[in-house]
Amino acid sequence: MRIVVDAMGSDSYPAPDVEGAVLAAREWNDTIILVGKEDLIRAELKKHDTSGLNIEVVHAGEVIEMTDKPADVVRGKPDSSMHIGMNLVKIGEADAYVTAGNTGGVLAVATLRALKRIKGIQRPALTAIFPNLTGMIMAADIGANADCKPEYLLQFAFMTSIFARQAMGIENPRVALLSNGEEEGKGNELVKGTIPLMRGQSAVNYVGNMEPKEVLAGETDIVIHDGFTGNVFIKSIESTASMVGKLIKKEIRAGAITSVGGLLAKPAFGRVSKHTDPFEVGGAPLLGLNGIVIVAHGRSNGGAIKNAIRQARRAAAGNVIEAIREGIPAL
- Residue 280's Cβ-side half-sphere holds a number of Cα atoms within 13 Å equal to 13
Q: How far is the CB of 230 from a copy of itself (least distance, A)?
A: 9
Q: Does 247 bind a copy of itself (CB under 8 A)?
A: yes
Q: How far is the CB of 106 from a copy of itself (least distance, A)?
A: 16
Q: Does 43 bind a copy of itself (CB under 8 A)?
A: no
Q: How far is the CB of 14 from a copy of itself (least distance, A)?
A: 26
Candidates 42, 261, 299, 327: give the one binding a copy of itself (CB under 8 A). 261
Residues 40/63, Cβ–Cβ less than 8 Å:
no
Candidates 29, 271, 299, 331: give the one binding a copy of itself (CB under 8 A). 271
Output 199-205 pairs: Cβ under 8 A, ≥24 positions apart. 201/154, 201/157, 201/158, 201/329, 203/158, 203/161, 203/327, 203/329, 204/154, 204/157, 204/158, 204/161, 204/175, 204/329, 205/161, 205/172, 205/173, 205/174, 205/175
Q: Does 248 bind a copy of itself (CB under 8 A)?
A: yes
Select 67 or 172, whichever has its Cβ closest to a copy of itself: 67
Which phi and psi (to 5°) does residue 95 adopt?
-95, -20
Candidates 60, 86, 140, 178: give the one binding a copy of itself (CB under 8 A). 178
Cα angle for residues 56, 61, 66 (degrees, 5° grid)? 100
Q: In what order do the strands lie in the sheet with 205-210?
A: 55-59, 31-36, 2-6, 96-99, 292-295, 284-287, 125-131, 136-140, 222-224, 174-178, 205-210
- Ranges within 185-204 binding a copy of itself (CB under 8 A): 186-189, 191
Select 199 or 266, whichever has its Cβ closest to a copy of itself: 266
Candidates 276, 277, 298, 329: give the one binding a copy of itself (CB under 8 A). 276
Q: Does 143 bind a copy of itself (CB under 8 A)?
A: yes
Total chain residues near a copy of itself (CB under 8 A):
61
Select 232 or 317, whichever has its Cβ closest to a copy of itself: 232
Number of residues assigned to the chain:
331
Residues 222/175, Cβ–Cβ less than 8 Å:
yes
294 in helix, strand or coil?
strand
Q: How far is the CB of 200 from a copy of itself (least distance, A)?
A: 23
Peptide bond into 141 cis (omega under 30): yes
- Which of 209, 130, 219 is CA-nearest to residue 168? 130
Q: Does 326 bind a copy of itself (CB under 8 A)?
A: no
Provide the terminal-to-terminal Cα distance of the chain, rounded to the nearest Å.
35
- Ranges within 106-135 binding a copy of itself (CB under 8 A): 132-133
Q: How far is the CB of 272 from a copy of itself (least distance, A)?
A: 5
Q: Which stretch binds a copy of itself (CB under 8 A): 27-35, 78-86, 227-235, 303-311?
A: 227-235
Site residues (CB under 8 A) for a copy of itself? 132-133, 143, 146-147, 178-181, 186-189, 191, 211-213, 216-217, 225-229, 231-233, 235-248, 251-252, 254-255, 257-258, 260-269, 271-272, 275-276
